[in-house]
A and B are shown apart, each in its own frame.
Chain A
Amino acid sequence: MKTSHRMTGAALAVLAMAALTSCGSSSEPAADGTTTLKFLVDNSQATVDTAKALADAFMQANPTIKIETETRPGGSEGDNIVKTRLSTGDMSDVFWYNSGSLLQALNPSQTMVDLTGDPVLQHVQKDFLPVVSQDGKVYGVPAGTAMGGGILYNRKVYEQLKLEVPKTWADFMANNDKIKAAGIAPVIGTFKDTWTSQLFVLGDYYNVQAAVPSFAQDYTANKSKFAATPAARAGFDHLAEVHAKGYMQEGFGSATNDQGMKMLVEGKGAHYPMLSAQLPPLVATMPQAATDVGFFGIPGTDAAKNGATIWEPAGIYIPKTSENVDAAKKFLAFIASPAGAEATNKAVQPAGPFRITGAKLPEDAIQVAKDLQVYVDEGRTAPALEFVSPVKGPSLEQITVAVGSGLTPPAEGAAQYDKDVEKQAKQLGLAGW
C-alpha cells in the first residue's frame, strides 16, 4: 500500500538529507593558513544580499579567513533543514536563523556555542539579548535590523485625501471609509500567502501589553487565553471587522504578498498590515517605495497609549560542531559592530533600527525605517509576543485567514488558536500545560 511508502519516504528523506549534506561539511584550515567558514542563510533576497555584504567586508579586513555563503529555503521547510543539520552534527560554521520562540525549538543549550560574556557581544544592545538566550545564556548576535509589524500605508493616498495617521482603531476605520469612497481598496489582504494574514493579531501585541502588562507571562504559564482576554482578542475582532465592512480588495483570497506590496506602492491599496522588512527589496525596482510608503503601529482603543510592535532581528549563531569556532567568533564580532552595520547599510536599506550600539540609520533611510525609529526613540514599542514567549501555535495563519475571510467568527477563531497553542506547548513539553 502506498501509505507506508509515504512514511518510509519521510524517514528516508531524513536519512538521505543527512547523507547528502554530510558530504559538504568538513572545512579544515588549508595549507596556506587560510580558514574557510561556511555561512548558512535563508534564500530571501534581503538576507542573501546582507550576508554577502557582511562576508565581503569581513574578508577584506581578514584576508586569512574565507567565507562561503550557502542558502536554504525559508519558512518551515527551512526550519526543518536547520533542525536536521543541527541534529546530525552537520551544521555550517555560522548560520542565520530566527530569534525568539523559533530559536527555543533548536535546543540552543545542546547545539550551539555559548557566547555569554564573550567580547563578541560588546556592541550588542542589552534589550536584544533575551531573544537569543535560553536559561540566561546568550547564543547569538543580531542579524540586520529590527522591523516593525503594523500597518504600511501609502502616503500619497493620505496626502490626496487629506487623512491623518490614526491613533485609535475608530480613527483607522473612519479613514478606511473615506478611502473606500474614493475608489481605492482601504485594506490589502493577501491570503494566498497565508502568513501575511496574521499581522492584525501579531502586530497588535503592543496594545495587548499596554492593556494587560502581565499577559506574556500568564500566557506562557497557561493562565491567560486569547479568547478570554478582550485586549488579546481584539486582533481577531479587527480582522473580522475589516472583512465585514468590505474593506479588502477583490480577490484577496488568492492574492500573494508580492502583489499586495505592489498594490500598496502603486497606491491601488491604502493600508497593508505587514512587516516593514518587505520594503527594502522593492526599492531597486520601484524607487517610490522608499518615500511613498510609511508605517504606523496598529491603533488600539486609547489614543494616549499609541505605540508599535517590533520584530527583533534574526540571530547569527555558531553550532557546537564547528571546527573553526575562533574564526567564527571573529566574524560574529564583526557582524555585531558599527562597521558591520555600515556594510549592511550599503547592501540593503534598513527596515528599522539596529540593535547594535553606535550603529545608525543612514541619512537616506527609507520612510518606514524613519517612522519606526520615532516610535523607538520615544519608547513606544513592545517586542512581538513570539519574542517574549516560546508559545506560538502553528495554525494561526490558517485561523486568521478563516476569520479574515468571514468563515469563522472572531471569538471562535481566538478559541481555536488557544487550542492550537495548547497543542504546541504540549509538543514542546512546556511546564504547566
Chain B
Amino acid sequence: MTKQDAGPRTGPGPAPGPGHARASRRRRDSAYPYALYLPAAVVFVVIFLVPTAMAFYFALTRWTLFDSTFVGLDNFRDFLAEQNLRIGFQNTIIYAVVTSGLKVVLGLLLGVLLTSRLRLRGFLRSVVFFPTLVSTVAVGITFAMLLKPQTGLVNQALALVGVDGRDWLGDATTALLSVALVDVWKGVGLATVIYIAGIMSIPREYYQAVAVDGGGAWHRFRHVTLPLSWPATYSVIILSFIGGLRSFDLIWTMTRGGPGFTSDTIASIIYKQYQAGFFGLSTAGNVILFLVVTVIAVPLNYYLGKRQVAA
C-alpha cells in the first residue's frame, strides 16, 4: 500500500499551477486518493473488461469449449451469411420501433392521467407499475398460456363478444406483434413513472399562464406538458429503443423465434448459435449486435440530446 500516505494530503491542498509533477496533479484533480478506486477497478477489470476482451478474441476462433482454433474473420462472414439474419434485423427494428413508440404514446397518456386529480390515483399508479416488477420469463410463459388458440383466456374473451380469435403466437403474421404488445404491457409502467416524474417537475406557473390566457385542457397538454416533458420522452425513447434492439427473453419464452424464423430477432439468432454449440460464431454475433446497438444508439442519443437543449 504505497499510496496510503497520499490520503490526508489530497483533501485540503490548494490547486497548484499547471506543469506540476504527477503526484500534485492527482492531488488537484481527485477528491479521493486513487487507492480508494482500486477495489472497484479490480472488480471492473476482472469481471467486465477481461471477459469483454476475451469475447472479442473468441469471436475470431472456432471454439468448442474444449479447444479453440483461430479462424480470423470467418465467424463474422458466416454470421452475416446466416439465412434468417435479414428477417432478424427487420424484426429487431420493427420490434424496437413498435415497442418504444407505443411506450412513449401510452406512457405519456398514462402519465398525464395519473398526475391529474384522480380519486384512485395512488392505486392506479401501482396497477400500471405492477407488470414492471414481474420477471420477464414469467410474463412470457403466462401470456403464452393466455394467447393459446382454443383454451387461452384472450380468445375465450374475444369469443364472448363474437370475435373469432386466431392462433396469436403460432401464426406467422401475428407472432412478432403479439410479443411486442406484451412487451409494451410489461414496459409501459416504467415509461409512465418516468413521465410522471417529468410532468411533476413542470412548474405550475406555466399552467396558470395558460389558464389566464383562457386555454383549456388541450392547450395545457399541447403547449406545456408535451414540450416540457421532452426530457422524459428522451429517456423513454432511448431506454426502450435499446431494450427493443436487444429484445430476447420475451421472444424466447413466447415463440422461440417461430413459427419457422418469422419472429427471430438478432438476439435470438445469436442464442440459437450458442445452443447449437457454435460458441465462436455466437460470440461473433454478439460483437456485431454490440456494434449495431452502438451505431444506432449513439447518434440517436446525440440527436435527441440536441433537441433537448433546443427545447
Contact = CB atoms under 8 A, between A and B. Distances in A.
Interface string A338-372: 00000000000000000000000000000000000
A402 B55 contact: no
A348 B276 CA distance: 30
Given A110-B66, A424-B276, A3 B78 contact: no
Given A401-B258, A407-B259, A427 B289 contact: no
Contacts of B167: 250-251, 253-254
Interface residues of A, number: 51
Nearest to A408: B260
Interface in A1-55: 1-8, 10-12, 14
A3 B258 contact: no
What's the dominant secondary structure at chain A's contact region? Answer: helix
Contact of B259 (A8, A191, A423, A426): A191
Given A12-B47, A405-B172, A251 B150 contact: yes
Q: Residue among B69, B147, B256, B260 with the most chain A CB within 10 A? A: B260
Contacts of A84: 65
Contact of A6 (B66, B82, B277, B286): B286
Contact of B169 (A11, A254, A426): A254
Contacts of B47: 8, 12
Interface in B264-311: 272-278, 280-281, 283, 286-287, 289-290, 293-294, 297
B107 to A, nearest CB: 20
Contacts of B242: 1-2
B48 interface: yes
Contacts, number: 149
A229 interface: no
Nearest to A7: B55
Interface of B: 47-48, 51-52, 54-55, 62, 64-66, 69, 74, 78, 82-84, 144, 147-150, 167-172, 242, 246, 256-262, 272-278, 280-281, 283, 286-287, 289-290, 293-294, 297
Given A8-B52, A250-B149, A254-B148, A398 B275 contact: no
A308 to B, nearest CB: 28
Nearest to B270: A6
A311 B107 CA distance: 54
Given A83-B64, A87-B66, 13 more contacts: A7-B52, A77-B275, A253-B167, A395-B272, A398-B84, A398-B260, A399-B260, A401-B260, A402-B260, A402-B261, A405-B260, A407-B260, A427-B62
A194 B268 CA distance: 15
B294 A1 contact: yes
B177 to A, nearest CB: 15
A87 B242 CA distance: 35
A419 B261 CA distance: 15
Q: Residue among B259, B261, B280, B297 with the most chain A CB within 10 A? A: B259
Contacts of A416: 83
A252 interface: yes
B64 A3 contact: no
Interface in A66-114: 76-77, 79-80, 83-84, 86-87, 105, 107, 110-111
